[in-house]
């Protein structure tokens, strides 16, 4: 059974008397424990799809189902226990005046979950951080450490789905590899399902089983991981993205370690 089902999703923004279709009739399905990638240039609508799932973008058409159920207009606690998002900028997504302990404890308190101290310590261990980090503030951590905290926070409620919005693009290449390998390990250990956004096909190739290529809010094509590895794309646009990623790798960008 598909855990995530999106059928003819359209997202329309209205501003100053104009309408902008950020996403146009996009459909996809993601199976349980699958990792599915959305790739495209800036403005292709890939991040908007994640925000639409979370109720953060105005859906003007289509349906979104999680585990077979259409999402309500107000997502609520049941949704947050099932689906969590990891954002691009780990510093902006963490409250600068909250300790790591408070950041990780807050969702547990909201949902009335017991054993908060033990859960916070275990979450830090799970993402490779010492338990003592719980008493630090975001500005006292490196970018990679902050993103590990953001991942730990997303996992506090034991969700089944992680929405990953360019989770490593703000990090150095060597740190990117560490965080991507961490995410891969957590997906395997915790049985997670990923819907991941990136502009970089090298990152998507490392992480995802299937890939949807988007341009100007519409689907260009869907590619399997095997086809991506063989550079077997059907459209010139998808091939141009592949060649751009290959050029970056040849120029010195480190591909994530497998």
Report residue 33 as tokens.
């424990």
Most confident of 90-99, 116-125, 166-175: 116-125
Average pLDDT, the chain: 91
Parallel, antiparallel or unpaired: strands 69-70 and 59-66: antiparallel
Instruction: Label residue 253 by pLDDT band (50, 70, 90).
Output: very low
C-alpha distances in Å from residue 194, one per residue of 130, 197, 216: 26, 10, 23
pLDDT tens digits for range 159-170: 999 999 999 888
Quote the pLDDT of residue 252: 43
The model's pLDDT over 131-157, given as tens digits with 9 standing for 90+, comes to 999 999 999 999 999 999 999 999 999
- Total domain count for the chain? 1
Q: What is the pLDDT of residues 108-139, one digit of tens each?
A: 999 999 999 999 999 999 999 999 999 999 99
The answer to whether position 208 is within a domain reads yes
pLDDT value at position 247? Answer: 59
Domain presence at residue 78: yes
Sign of CA dihedral 176, 209, 30, 40: positive
In SS3 terms, 17-83 reads as CEEEEEEEEEEEEEECCCEEEEECCCCCCHHHHHHHHCCCCCEEEEEEEECCEECCCCCHHHHHHHE
> What CATH number does the domain containing 181 carry?
3.40.50.300
Residue 255 lies in a domain: no
- Predicted confidence at residue 35, as pLDDT, reads 97
pLDDT of residue 248: 57
Asked whether the beta carbons of 219 and 212 are under 8 A apart, the reply is yes
**What whole-number percentage of the chain has pLDDT above 70?**
95
pLDDT reported for residue 241: 85
Whether residue 73 lies inside any domain: the answer is yes
Q: pLDDT by residue (tens digit) across 242-252?
A: 887 765 554 44
| Residue-level pLDDT at 231 | 85
C-alpha–C-alpha distance, residues 174 and 240, integer Å: 25
Please give the span between the terminal C-alpha atoms of the chain, in angstroms, as a whole number: 28
Kindly tell me the burial class for residue 162, based on how many C-beta atoms sit within 10 Å of its own C-beta (0-12, 13-18, 19 or more): buried
pLDDT of amino acid 147 = 95
Task: Print the domain residue range for 9.
Answer: 2-250
Q: Identify which has the larger pLDDT, 90 or 83.
A: 83
Q: What is the mean pLDDT of residues 60-88?
A: 94
Q: What does the block give as tokens for 44?
A: 């292709």
Q: Is the pLDDT of residue 11 over 90?
A: yes
Asked if the structure places residue 258 within a domain, the reply is no
Predicted pLDDT of residue 89:
85
* Greatest pairwise CA separation for the chain in angstroms: 53
Q: Is residue 256 part of a domain?
A: no
Question: Using CB atoms within 10 A of its CB, is residue 211 exposed (0-12), middle (13-18) or buried (19+)?
Answer: buried
Q: Where are the beta strands (DSSP E) in the chain?
A: 2-15, 18-31, 35-39, 59-66, 69-70, 83-86, 161-165, 193-198, 210-215, 218-224
Residue 139 domain-assigned? yes
Residue 11: inside a domain: yes
Average pLDDT over residues 23-40: 96
> Is the Cβ–Cβ distance between 149 and 104 less than 8 Å?
yes
> 177 near 209, Cβ under 8 Å?
no
Look at residue 211 and tell me whether its pLDDT is greater than 50. yes
């Amino acid at each position: 059974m598909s855990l995530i089902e999106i059928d003819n999703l359209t997202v329309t923004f209205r501003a100053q008397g104009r309408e902008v279709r950020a996403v146009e009739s996009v459909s996809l399905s993601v199976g349980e424990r699958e990792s599915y990638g959305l790739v495209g240039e800036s403005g292709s609508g890939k991040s908007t799809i994640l925000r639409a799932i979370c109720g953060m973008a105005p859906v003007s058409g289509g349906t979104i189902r999680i585990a077979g159920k259409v999402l309500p207009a107000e997502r609520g606690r049941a949704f947050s226990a099932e689906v969590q998002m990891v954002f691009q900028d780990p510093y902006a997504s963490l409250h600068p005046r909250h300790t790591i302990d408070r950041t990780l404890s807050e969702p547990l308190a909201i949902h009335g979950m017991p054993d908060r101290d033990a859960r916070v310590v275990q979450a830090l261990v799970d993402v490779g951080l010492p338990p003592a980090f719980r008493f630090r503030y975001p500005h006292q951590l490196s970018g990679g450490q902050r993103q590990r905290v953001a991942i730990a926070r997303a996992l506090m409620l034991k969700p089944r789905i992680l929405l990953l919005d360019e989770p490593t693009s703000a990090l150095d290449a060597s740190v990117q590899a560490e965080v991507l390998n961490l995410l891969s390990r957590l997906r395997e250990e915790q049985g997670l399902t990923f819907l991941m956004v990136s502009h970089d096909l090298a990152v998507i190739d490392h992480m995802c089983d299937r890939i949807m290529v988007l341009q100007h809010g519409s689907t260009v094509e869907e590619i399997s991981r095997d086809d991506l590895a063989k550079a077997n794309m059907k459209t010139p646009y998808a091939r141009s993205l592949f060649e751009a990623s290959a050029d970056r790798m040849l120029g010195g960008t480190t591909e994530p370690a497998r």
